[in-house]
Amino acid sequence: MANVKEDPEHRARRLAVRALEKQIANLETIRFEPAQLQQLKIRTLPMSFRENGELDFKPCFFKPYPADLLDYYNFKPLDEIQVPPDQKPSWQAMAICDIPSVDRPHIQCDMIYNIDGDDRLLRGELLALIRIILGVLSATSLVDHLITPVLLFSYMGPQHGRILQGHFDGDNLVVRYSKLYDFRKKNNYVVKLFTQWLLCHPTGNTKAK
pLDDT one-digit tens code per residue, 136-146? 999 988 999 99
Is the pLDDT score of 153 beyond 90? yes
Q: What is the C-alpha to C-alpha distance for residues 62 and 51, in angstroms, rounded to an integer?
A: 17
Looking only at the bridges linking them, the beta strands covering 107-116 and 150-157 are parallel
Per-residue model confidence (pLDDT) at position 206:
93
- Long-range pairs for 97-105: beta carbons < 8 A, 24 or more residues apart: 99/62, 99/75, 99/200, 99/201, 99/202, 100/74, 100/75, 100/76, 101/201, 101/202, 103/142, 103/144, 104/202, 104/206, 105/136, 105/139, 105/142, 105/145, 105/147, 105/148, 105/149, 105/206
Task: Report percent pLDDT > 90 for the chain.
Answer: 59
- pLDDT, residue 179, reads 96
pTM of the predicted protein model:
0.86
